[in-house]
Structure 1
Amino acid sequence: MSSSAMHIARTGLDAQDTRMRVISNNLANVNTTGFKKDRAAFETLAYQVVTAPGAQSTSETKYATGLNLGTGVRIQGTARIDTQGSMQTTGNSLDLALDGDGYFQVQMPGGTLGYTRAGNFSRSPEGLMVTSEGYQVMPGITVPEGTTNITIGQDGTVSATIPGQSEAQQIGQIQVASFANGAGLQATGDNYLVETAASGAANLGVAGQDGRGRVRQGMLEASNVN
């Protein structure tokens, strides 16, 4: 086999290795709450035009197809597949799932804003609604000590019975972030994404409006790997 043929074969092996890494990561996260699988996209490398289609083959004839030699393949990029994962009922009042498009917004270390589909939230010792890593859900929601009967509507309205009150009071509003190009968000690990120039800035709004998904209380979205 010629050196050029070996090189072409090697590009295929390298591309398939990258594809298998993507698939392996998908399978490793089959049980990760809110995880979205990735797909590797391939593209051809440059072609060597030995004979152009339509070139003169003789003084009176032309080549019908020509001769083009490919030089291999490479991974163009990875695309996140944002199809909805199945809803799993937990019965936990602070477990939330988004039924439809959008992301929960949280404040990460250093003040960076992160975005996630994983809504397994809890109450911090300070009374804040936080992620499993302790990152505050934004806009901030405080759940007072002794609060009972926490209900979260499909529009993200958070209500609860506060000590000293006989009726439920609204204590916050969970907003949903949408992006002009959600595929442009950058994965950082721990189930979080951050905005980039490709994604555009986050557009916060009410759940269930302007194409944003609705909030489902007592449920979590499963990985969409199958």
Structure 2
Amino acid sequence: MIRALWTAASGMQSQQVNMDVIANNLANVNSSGFKKSRADFQDILYQTSKAAGTGGDGNEVPTGIQVGLGSRVAAVQKVFTTGDFQQTENELDLAIEGSGFFQVELPDGTEAYTRSGALKQDSTGRLVTSDGYPIIPEIVIPEGATAIAIDGSGTVDVLIDGESTATEVGTIELTRFANPAGLSSLGRNLYAETATTGDPQIGTPGEEGFGTLSQGFLEGSNVNIMEEMVNMIAGQRAYEVNSKAITTADEMLQMTSGLVR
């Protein structure tokens, strides 16, 4: 009977993590480039009272007796499906149509990766993220630029005041991984490379399987509110059922302790 208490408690703990993941997805429904997470569950240890195939009278028992001890969270995986595109008409907003990440440099000199293309200019004209992290390779918009054009292959052209022809100032590159689900989330729409992602592959947008860039658009979150609400209801009911199992096991224990010889 005590086993039922701990088994149901493990189910409640698993559903609590599931609700935490769903809540974070919903909280970031309007975060540019955000990728939703999904909790994966698995059963845990089993107690075997009788193994299959055993038998004392020469007969083979086709099935044994195994009782499971509950569930646990096996992984919380990022789902890198493409979010909806939102037109902003801002010349520094970029959306990646396909696979790839923008590479940025963190203050400590390490690299991070993002799908959020809401770029800005800092005081020196560099293209940076909303947190001021410069993209790699560095792109500097010269003073006096009146218009910025970024084509699908990442080429950045600017029109300088007083000139009649555009000037190319650089090319935005993309990075991709063999296993993007292995990326470590840093917050602020940033991801870091891990041992399971594979080596970063750097390339030009539109070539060798990389996505293309769309200027004046942002990739929205890939969170589906209706799907998350359904998952929330299912998780709530699973939590409720497990709590009911604990209550039932407690009542059975109470009946047992009340037996009189």
Query: TM-score normalized by structure 1?
Result: 0.96
Aligned residue in 1 for 2:16:
17
**Match for residue 97 of structure 1 among 90, 95, 98:** 95
CA distance in 1, matches of 2:153, 2:211: 9
SS at match of 2:61: coil
Equivalenced residues, count = 224
1:164 deviation in Å?
4.9
Aligned residue in 2 for 1:161:
159
The answer on 1:196 being equivalent to 2:194 is yes
Q: Calculate the aligned-residue CA RMSD, in Å.
A: 1.1
1:165 deviation in Å?
3.2
Q: Which runs of 5+ in 2 are unaligned?
A: 225-261
1:51 deviation in Å?
1.2
Aligned residue in 2 for 1:106:
104
CA distance in 2, matches of 1:18, 1:109: 32
Aligned residue in 2 for 1:120:
118
SS at match of 1:19: helix
Q: Deviations over 1:115-134 (max 9, x none)?
A: 00100001111110011111
Q: Report percent identity of matched pairs.
A: 44
SS at match of 1:111: coil
Q: Which has the higher helix share?
A: 2
Aligned residue in 1 for 2:127:
129
Aligned residue in 1 for 2:209:
211
Aligned residue in 1 for 2:37:
38
CA distance in 2, matches of 1:129, 1:164: 23
Runs of 4+ in structure 1 over 3 Å off: none
**Match for residue 143 of structure 2 among 140, 145, 167:** 145
SS at match of 2:62: coil
CA distance in 2, matches of 1:14, 1:98: 38
CA distance in 2, matches of 1:215, 1:144: 22
Q: Which runs of 5+ in 1 are unaligned?
A: none
Larger-gyration structure (1/2) = 2
Higher mean C-alpha deviation, range 59-68 or range 150-159:
59-68
- 2:113 maps to a residue whose letter is Y
1:112 deviation in Å?
1.5
The answer on 1:27 being equivalent to 2:26 is yes
